[in-house]
Structure 1
Amino acid sequence: MHLGGAAGRSPTRGTVRKGIRRNGSGYQALACFNGAVIQSKTTQDLATALDWLAILTPISSRCRQNLRRHQALNFKELVQGVFFEYQEDITTVGFNLQFRVRKRHWIGNCEVATPVIYSLEEADAAIRRLAPLLLSKTYSRSAPKVGQQTYLQRWHLLKQAYLDVCEVLVKCRQAVAARLEVQEAARSLEREAETERRIQLLLSNWSRSTAQRKAHEARDAARDAAKSKRDHWKETRAKMRHELTCGMADILGEGGGGKSSERAPS
């Protein structure tokens, strides 16, 4: 299927030095978004692989932006639109997609990997099912932290979506589910130990923050007490100064009155 047609200047294809994988004696372009890996076929020419990478990169970035904004993503139309912009034939590039995600907490170093998808329609369905559950690293760091129960619920949602996709593609839901169960069971002891370490870390952080808060409160109380003492001393000094001034005025007034009365008869 050739997607070229409209005359005009095609987008500039800059030379990119990442996203190229050496595959035997050839090169393969790839780009990623939300756990999905878009790949080209293998070519012997590095320049051709770089040209293909320049096509796959905007596909991945536009998909990532749409998913991050929670906008509806029509993957088939998006891919066809990008290939049309670059006036390139999708069959020449050999476009395919696969989800590959590591969930070390649940299944160790194993990957949650779908079969390779060559159909745009099947890729679109898989992305709609899986991609929203796989936040990018940058976005997930800025997202609010969640509890262990929510974390577990998210894993179950991802697992069910993954099994649904595998069932549609190769009808192997039971086999994949059994393999996931084995991987989860093998990781269970390490997962429990990791959870215990996290609990201990939380308790340690809580104890440290509590001690810091109490020390801060003690410093504030001491500062307030010192300020109150200084204010009281200032008030006392002002009162003493006022009383002294009044006393001196009385003394001077009495002395002045006596002298004036002595001079009056003469």
Structure 2
Amino acid sequence: MDRDRARGRGGQARPRRGLRGDAPRRYADRAGLPRPQGGCANRGDRSRQLQDHVPAPRQRRMGTNVSESGDGMPIHTVGKGESATSIAADNGFFVDTVWNHARNTALREKRKTPHQLFEGDEIFIPDKELKQEDGATGSRHRFKVKGVPAKFRLQLLALGEPRANEDYVLNIDGQLTRGKTDAQGWIKQSIPPGARSGTLTLQGGKEQIPIQIGDLDPIEEVSGVQQRLTNLGFPAGNSGELDDSTKAALRQFQEAQGLQTTGEADAATRAKLKQIHD
């Protein structure tokens, strides 16, 4: 560019935008970073400065139940109402990425399903990995974010018989879905993986059933046995102990299912409970 074209009206020199001496200073001021010395900051320095100033919540979206393993990798302690599905969603992962990680082998062997964890369980959360996609410069590219919804399943019974073809409204975290139960009284819907609660409305609003998602404990725990017995119409309390009320509920359930009436949560009883109420 010749000198005349670089001057504005009145012959005064007009500053050029984006000159290397000024741009880094303006950039640093807006980002709240220290000004570079010598009027110029190279790309590596600026990237490092930005990374150092990113707030912790933006670096990793994790709750307070997080500790570090011996190699510094994060371990999440499961809280009440959490599952591998919700924990993975909270940290920006698909559930299979977290659940099938080699560091979670022991947890998979213990719990069998990612949808039913127990308070105090520990689950490994891997670091995110960058994925690169090739694309032509100067062109517009469209990327689609994949979503993996969770599956909600609920069977409605009345005196042991399915409540078939019954209208319902399912409200999950404010998202309304209308439908009919199938011939076996089942409701099957896709819901957000991080959903925690909802309400099922039946009979045109005359009947409302509160729903807590993720609160069902594993069948291996006494509390999980109690929850399933109570949901099936055999009140067992929620003490977490194999107390008298739980044993009485177990005997009633065993008798109804043609099992040996022991009042104990033996393997056959747990298997039948899991078959009926997964």
Range into which the TM-score falls when normalised by the shorter chain: under 0.3
TM-score by length of 2: 0.23
**Which structure exhibits the higher relative contact order, with contacts defined as CA atoms closer than 8 Å and separated by 6 or more residues?**
1
TM-score by length of 1: 0.23
Q: Please say which structure displays the higher CA radius of gyration.
A: 1
